[in-house]
Structure 1
């Protein structure tokens, strides 16, 4: 038999999902920034080698 009243745990689950998505987005952005920085560095080093 189902419980009557407010649903259990929906607020905590929503909050947890929100926080985990924020964490994943932060990690993804850091990874993209690192990749871009490395790309710039390699381009700069290749330009120095040619000169």
Structure 2
């Protein structure tokens, strides 16, 4: 029985490799963005808390 044409596994492997690389890059960018936002939020919270403590009236 004829099996049909040979499958092109070389191109499939290269495509999978490129797609996986792209996914990994996007995940890294997402993690870096989250980390930047987290540091920015903590910095703003610290600034806000220091401003609030400075604005309290002295009793």
> Is the structural similarity TM-score above 0.5?
yes
Q: Determine if the alignment matches structure 1 residue 2 to structure 2 residue 7.
A: no
Runs (5+) with no aligned partner, structure 2: 51-59
CA RMSD of aligned residues (A): 1.4
The Cα of 1:8 is off from its aligned counterpart by 2.4
Deviates more, 1:31-40 or 1:7-16: 7-16
For residues 39 and 3 of structure 1, what CA distance do their matches in structure 2 show? 55
SS of the equivalent of 1:18 reads helix
Match of 1:20 in 2: 19
Give the structure-1-normalised TM-score: 0.88
The Cα of 1:2 is off from its aligned counterpart by 1.2
Larger Rg: 2
For residues 42 and 3 of structure 1, what CA distance do their matches in structure 2 show? 60
Give the structure-2-normalised TM-score: 0.77
